Homo-oligomer: A and B are copies of this chain.
């Protein structure tokens, strides 16, 4: 066999030990919230027919799809997002789905984007959508789930900027912008986050809007008041237990995607300045456009990597360094005692490593420290005679001779 220089592909990541545990921790938290709202998990294959994905995300995005010909001559492609596969599911299984279909999906997607800080070619998406309902309550549930995830991980500073895409479109049209220019205008307005008002007005003018009208448009947006439907959705989300001050009416919030048709929102963690941590909204025509099945829908995508990074910065993630709670050391003469003791700990649900080699105690302590294991359990002459074990706290260096049941009691409390 040939020997290959070990290397990870650019834009791809390995997750070892603590990093993998942190990701798992966040995924489990998100999953618990989704399930609590009665949403069903969905998993779709990594590969789809390429034709399902091409042309669905725009010409630029087509270039970022990982597509190839498989050995059977089929053009296939790696999952690019979770919305298009879900649209396929809705079409393919529509006779067996009970509508509205409330599903969540937490899977990796692949994009051949230029890798840069915080942008990877393989990354995790967390989506929740309600498909087949045009009830405002569905919008409220979507807002409530999204907010609940952040409240669940104790990021109570979460702000959700909300707007009504329909109202935005009406305001834009009322300024005299032509039907064809509406989405172009929305994309420019969407930059108000990153650019000054003057720069945005300049861009609107460069796109053909009269300067006066551009000013007027921005002013009208800035002084807009919530539409009745948006107000009602927010009220419902508050009744669903979300503090009212989580929601911030943002009449200039535009969202970059063209398919939104109603309520739109974006999550912001003020202390985390890299950017929004996800967003979504109502998209009543998209499923029909994608797979020819008429289905109103509302949902969101949560930025998993950014949320993880923010939670990390805010100190909300437990320290997952330790591979185990106890390292059980084994003296060859008393091997059977030590193995039985380890089995007892594990049976009680206490994560326990066994030191596998016959090495001096200082080597074993070094191993425990390197792996973040806080305690060592030792059974030698004295312990066997007294039917006890020695437990050493590696931080305080305190040692005590106790019964194994006492170790279980101590460890279960940690």
Contact = CB atoms under 8 A, between A and B. Distances in A.
A40 B17 contact: yes
Contact of A45 (B8, B20, B44): B8
B37 A353 contact: yes
A118 interface: no
Contacts of A91: 6
B336 A36 contact: no
Interface string A61-82: 0010010111110101010000
Interface string A327-345: 1001000011001101100
Given A24-B41, A38-B352, A89-B14, A49 B239 contact: no
A89 B13 CA distance: 11
Contact of A49 (B4, B103, B110, B342): B4
A71 B76 contact: no
Interface residues of A, number: 106
Contacts of A10: 72
Interface of A: 1-4, 6-10, 12-17, 20-21, 23-24, 31, 35-49, 51-52, 55-56, 63, 66, 68-72, 74, 76, 78, 88-89, 91-93, 97-98, 100, 102-103, 108, 110, 112, 121-122, 130, 133, 135, 137-138, 140-141, 144, 148, 236, 239-241, 289-292, 323-324, 327, 330, 335-336, 339-340, 342-343, 346-347, 349-354, 356-358, 367, 370-371, 373
15 contacts: A4-B52, A4-B291, A6-B291, A9-B49, A10-B72, A13-B45, A14-B43, A14-B93, A16-B42, A20-B41, A23-B43, A36-B349, A133-B357, A148-B346, A239-B343
